[in-house]
């Protein structure tokens, strides 16, 4: 699938949309390979563009993909806990997240969570968790080009990077 900017992707396109609170979730992940640290950042806006909340965290990590998945999961968990009847829209600059969720997920399930080359799918539990949350909340998910003029995406990126930089670590 060719993921395009400004095109919404949805697991359940025929499901009715909740007509309650609209939320825009901007997520990003960061990874510092030399320290094996990853960070995630989330900027949550209401439908009028007002910043409601920012969330971020850091952990030992294996890749930027892991952090992108965690950021999306944490954002949807926040919605589930704080505004379960809302209509969320999630924005990510990680095309691989969309590719995994919309293209590869059914294939992985069918192959008992192995890739075409026979190797186990990396971050299976995170993919399953993200899939479950998107099935429950049915968000519109948009790919946006990273590091562009989207101040919301830039804020999510900044939160992810700052969370790593604040973490004390040793070489």
Least Cα distance to 57 among 131, 145, 161 occurs for 161
Domains delineated in the chain? 22-166 (3.30.420.10)
CA 78 to chain centre: 12
The pLDDT tens digits along the chain (171 residues) read 556 666 667 677 666 655 566 899 999 999 999 989 999 999 999 989 999 999 999 999 999 999 999 999 999 999 999 999 888 999 999 999 999 999 999 999 999 999 999 999 999 999 999 999 999 999 999 999 876 778 999 999 999 999 998 866 544
Concatenating the DSSP letter of every residue in 7-63 gives --B-S-TTSPPP-S-EEEEEEEEEEEGGGTEEEEEEEEEETTS-EEEEEEEEEE-S-
Residue 58 to residues 36, 62, 161, Cα–Cα distance (Å): 11, 12, 9
Residue 156 to residues 45, 49, 150, Cα–Cα distance (Å): 11, 15, 10
pLDDT digits (tens, 9 = 90+) for 106-151: 999 999 999 999 999 999 999 999 999 999 999 999 999 876 778 9
């Amino acid at each position: 699938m060719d993921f395009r900017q400004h095109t919404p992707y949805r697991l359940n396109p025929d499901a009715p949309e909740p007509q309650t609170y609209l939320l825009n979730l901007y997520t990003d992940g960061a990874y510092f390979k030399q320290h094996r640290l990853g960070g995630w950042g989330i900027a949550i806006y209401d439908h009028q563009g007002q910043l409601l909340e920012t969330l971020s965290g850091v952990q030992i990590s294996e890749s930027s993909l892991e952090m992108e998945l965690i950021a999306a999961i944490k954002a949807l968990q926040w919605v589930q806990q704080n505004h379960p009847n809302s209509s969320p829209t999630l924005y990510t600059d990680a095309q691989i997240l969309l590719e995994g969720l919309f293209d590869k997920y059914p294939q992985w399930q069918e192959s008992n969570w192995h890739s075409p080359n026979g190797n186990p799918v990396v971050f299976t539990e995170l993919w399953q968790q993200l899939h479950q949350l998107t099935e429950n909340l049915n968000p519109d998910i948009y790919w946006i080009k990273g590091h562009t003029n989207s101040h919301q995406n830039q804020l999510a990126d900044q939160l992810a990077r700052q969370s790593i930089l604040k973490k004390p670590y040793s070489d």
